[in-house]
Structure 1
């Protein structure tokens, strides 16, 4: 079973490759199309960047998560087994919560499998859907709260702004770590998956 380690995130995350190029700085501030390095080996981008062979090669991307309501076009250098497609529209009523255990598990497994692996997470613009996925990974892997994860991601990519529905679902995802009685950063992913699924069922029953 996979379990998350709990590093002290404030110092290492603030020192992620401080000598970034002007192009990378622009991505962090939200200017132009580019991939933003959120934490070591985890990038966030728009769909056009994710489909650019040269960019993926330059960054050394080995795995891609696409969060789109249509089939993405990813360069053939990324084999099918290294891709995960979450079909989801960018609407505040869309259920992204039920996918977060899967995306978090994917990122965690990829990074643990090989220290040279790098993951790119993208949606259409790299603003809402994919940002929520990355924030959920930060919550699970580093002990951040949902608010801290969002603030950190926005600091690395200024255009990040999940819709209201996704923010609420990210809060629910983070609350699942507390509700399950596990400390953030050390929760077993299979337990979280079950807890989140149960919370989704409860929310749906209340809305009917």
Structure 2
């Protein structure tokens, strides 16, 4: 079944097959697609796109993309848009980006952000490397806030 899983009123998470459905993108009024893969396609419709060319490997550095992606999702929401973040299966890479967004712009703790994304899409399971990077990001966000 094709579906975009709603995390917040302006953020969805999905697998590539669903995210590439122009019909779904239009029905959910998505205006930004963040593709967290090296080769999965984008939907064939007029939406803003962003590619984060990362493999689902614990050694990949997704951390360096957290701020940029979180800020892009936030900007889109502030302009009345909606974002979908997806990877091949909608389990690890896309989940980590959604969690980073919730931590940065909704000031959620990592455990709460993880639960919120899991409630939207129960199959999410960021790999151990991405979880370690999210813990590091949580520490970094706390440091920034206390300065």
In the superposition, the TM-score normalised over structure 2's length comes to: 0.94
In the alignment, which residue of structure 1 is the partner of 2:65? 99
RMSD: 1.4
- Structure 1 residue matching 2:76: 3-state secondary structure: helix
**How far did residue 77 of structure 1 move?**
2.2
- Structure 2 residue matching 1:177: 3-state secondary structure: helix
**How far did residue 71 of structure 1 move?**
5.0
Deviations 1:133-152 (A, max 9, x none): 00000001111111110011
- Structure 2 residue matching 1:54: 3-state secondary structure: helix
1:43 to 2, 6, 12: 12
Larger radius of gyration: 1
- 1:1-208 superposed matches below 5 A: 32-70=1-39, 72-78=41-47, 82-112=48-78, 114-115=79-80, 117-180=81-144, 182=145
Report the count of equivalent residues. 147
- Structure 1 residue matching 2:117: 3-state secondary structure: helix
Q: Is the contact between residue 35 and residue 42 of structure 2 (CA under 8 Å) also seen in structure 1?
A: no
- Structure 1 residue matching 2:27: 3-state secondary structure: helix
- Structure 1 residue matching 2:52: 3-state secondary structure: strand
Unaligned runs of 5+ residues in structure 2 are none
For 2:40 and 2:19, locate their aligned partners in 1 and report how far apart those are by CA, in whole Å.
13
- Structure 1 residue matching 2:42: 3-state secondary structure: coil
**How far did residue 119 of structure 1 move?**
0.5
Deviations 1:68-109 (A, max 9, x none): 02152321322xxx1110000000111000111110111111
Deviations 1:183-206 (A, max 9, x none): 6xxx9xxxxxxxxxxxxxxxxxxx
